[in-house]
Chain A
Amino acid sequence: MRDPRPDKQSFKPGWAARLLSGVQVAEKWLAGAAFVVLVLVVFADVLSREFTGAGLYWVSQVAVWANVIVVMAGFGLASAEGAHLRPRFADLWLPARWGPALATLQHLCMALFNGAFGLLAARVVAGSWRLGEVSIDLFVPIWPVQIFLPLAFLTAALRHAIYAFVPELRPADSSALAPIEAGLGK
């Protein structure tokens, strides 16, 4: 009789795969849109100064906030593709046969860290909201941008928790290539 349980090797909970895929698509669009804003406003500032003799006072703050969104969306994308910078020299200190268990612990630890930092960041943002902190350039509240910090950390916590318990959904570790592609050789 055939075992009714799903094959362990190919088991991928559909809801988790769909959730991660949906989050990743959202992060890509968010990062792309914020990048367009970042480039356009800084270039607009250059044009304005060259042609009218005066820069745009709001550009610096808008560009910085666009960069915050690029970075925090990129943080999720890096988690999704195993691209976070990671020191690798200790990888061979433990026996290779411990690899699967270590990978689970690795993702659990990442989930715990991101969860803890997400909650800390949420507390800081709540404080900023309560105090009514505003940008000194634009006089608008800063919490709607700050909130991308806890959002990114908590999403990463969820992502790594799923990776810890569903190995089939884990990305390949491309951390060695991240600085290469990041152009840190320059």
Chain B
Amino acid sequence: MTGLTLLLLVVLLLLLRQSLFVILGCVTAFAYIFYAGESLDGIILDAWSALNKDILLAIPLYILAGNIMARGGIAARLIRFMRALTAPVPGGLGIAAILSCAVFAAVTGSGTVTLVAVGAVMYPALMEAGYSKRFALGSLCAAGTLGVIIPPSIPLILYGVMTRTNITDLFLAGLGPGLLLTSLMVAYALWVCRDVERDEWSPAELRAAFQAGVWALLMPALILGGIYSGVFTPTESAAVAVVYALFVELLIYRELGLADIGDVMVGTSRLLGSLFPVLMLAFSLNMFLTYQQVPDQMVAWLGERITAPVAMLVGTNVFLILIGCLMDIGSAILILAPMLAPLAADQGIGALHFGIIMVVNLEIGYLTPPLGLNLIVAMSVFREEFWTICRSVLPFVGLMLAGLLIISFYPPLSTALVN
């Protein structure tokens, strides 16, 4: 009866269009009162303890660095370099679009910001060069999601925080799958666009593009090289990324002023103000569930019914793809990762490997209706019909599902670098 009341409460809050943090707060308060009979002060204490963690500092800093770069001139220079580099290859401009998204995602910390920044330049260029609208839309929407898995990745940090998994290890684990998905998309572009007229190869343009974009191209080396060489922790790397982005945009490219930086900081604070309350209350709910030994009971219950890791993997993948259709990636990780990771561990699927599987599943959710974020963004950026965009991403969703299968059933792709 109490469970039914809780379900009705959630439905009522959904109907009243409440924010996720309100829903989580009400569910947690309900659980405190009706399942444990404890004082609600515990919710605030747990929420404070979630916020009072230095491991979370990487999130605001990476988002700030990404927003500074998205607002400035780094994207245009990366695109110019990639175009010059891929000019002689069949489907070169299409490949340049995919690689630009992958590299920009690796420095900005944002997949959807990548779609906006790269797509705004590359979509008209692809159409003008004779690429089909379907390929242009699909490749940009899909490559925009590469930022979800290519480190440094905010979803991987959230997963690390919620499951107490080492974030540097998660970043290392994301490299292989990120490269796999990028390679699948590039191979598809090579095949589909083999008949499109190529640009002329110009070593002079390549040299000029490199010189113009060298500061932008150094960024991934600085961020990822710093983390993997052990010079920086992820949080320090994020602070270095902010300072480097400010240096490049304010003093080298000079396309941003101090007022722009102020706007970016305020905008980033607003976005953190929508993310962190969810994180705090999800942490609080998770602490309550742990005190009540709910994950242990779930593991025991499921352990009796699922006896093969394959069944667990297939079931989890289907479940997470459905969740990805309905929820944003951050909320899904904050709520589900602490519950699903112990279940996966019970089936012998390590926390690192499971984290990558979870993030790739939810990454596909960016391309699935009704709430695929990249579909919605593409609709407004490219001024195209929603269903036109949905059809255009279908081949790429197929590619990503194939990649997901490989990632799920071949753990060394994720874990080899860490080991």
Tell me if B145 and A120 are in contact (CB < 8 A): no
Determine whether B309 belongs to the interface, using a CB cutoff of 8 Å to chain A.
Answer: no
Tell me if A113 and B326 are in contact (CB < 8 A): no
1/0 per residue, CB under 8 A from B, across A34-78: the answer is 111011001101100000000000001101100110111111111
1/0 per residue, CB under 8 A from A, across B235-264: the answer is 110111011000000000000000000100
Contacts of B368 in A (CB 8 A): none
- Tell which of B18, B60, B111, B236 touches A106, judged by Cβ atoms closer than 8 Å: B18
Tell me if A73 and B44 are in contact (CB < 8 A): no
Determine whether A90 belongs to the interface, using a CB cutoff of 8 Å to chain B.
Answer: yes
Which bracket fits the contact residues of B?
35 or more
Tell me if B242 and A39 are in contact (CB < 8 A): yes
Interface residues of B in 42-73 (CB under 8 A from A): 43-45, 47-48, 51-54, 56-57, 60-64, 66-67
1/0 per residue, CB under 8 A from B, across A6-46: the answer is 00000000000000000000001001101110110011011
**Bound-state Cα–Cα, A63 to B275, Å:** 18
**Bound-state Cα–Cα, A43 to B237, Å:** 9
Tell me if A46 and B109 are in contact (CB < 8 A): no
Determine whether B160 belongs to the interface, using a CB cutoff of 8 Å to chain A.
Answer: no
Determine whether A131 belongs to the interface, using a CB cutoff of 8 Å to chain B.
Answer: no
**Bound-state Cα–Cα, A61 to B52, Å:** 8
Tell me if B66 and A35 are in contact (CB < 8 A): no
**Bound-state Cα–Cα, A140 to B370, Å:** 50
Tell me if A184 and B16 are in contact (CB < 8 A): no
Determine whether A154 belongs to the interface, using a CB cutoff of 8 Å to chain B.
Answer: no
Given A38-B61, A43-B239, verify A180-B373 contact (CB < 8 Å): yes
Given A109-B22, A124-B41, verify A182-B274 contact (CB < 8 Å): yes
Tell me if A149 and B44 are in contact (CB < 8 A): yes
Distance to closest chain A CB from B55 (angstroms)? 10
10 A-B pairs (CB sep. < 8 Å): A36-B265, A71-B273, A83-B271, A85-B20, A87-B14, A120-B43, A180-B376, A183-B111, A186-B108, A186-B153
Query: What 3 A-B pairs come out closest when comparing CB atoms?
Result: A185-B111, A74-B273, A183-B110
Q: Which residues of A line the B interface, CB within 8 A?
A: 28, 31-32, 34-36, 38-39, 42-43, 45-46, 60-61, 63-64, 67-68, 70-79, 81, 83-91, 93-94, 102-103, 105-106, 109-110, 113, 117, 120-121, 123-124, 127, 146, 149, 175-176, 178-186
Contacts beyond the supplied A46-B240, A71-B272, A117-B25: 17 A-B pairs with Cβ under 8 Å: A31-B269, A38-B60, A63-B57, A64-B51, A75-B276, A83-B271, A84-B277, A89-B370, A109-B18, A121-B44, A149-B48, A178-B275, A180-B112, A180-B377, A183-B113, A185-B144, A186-B147
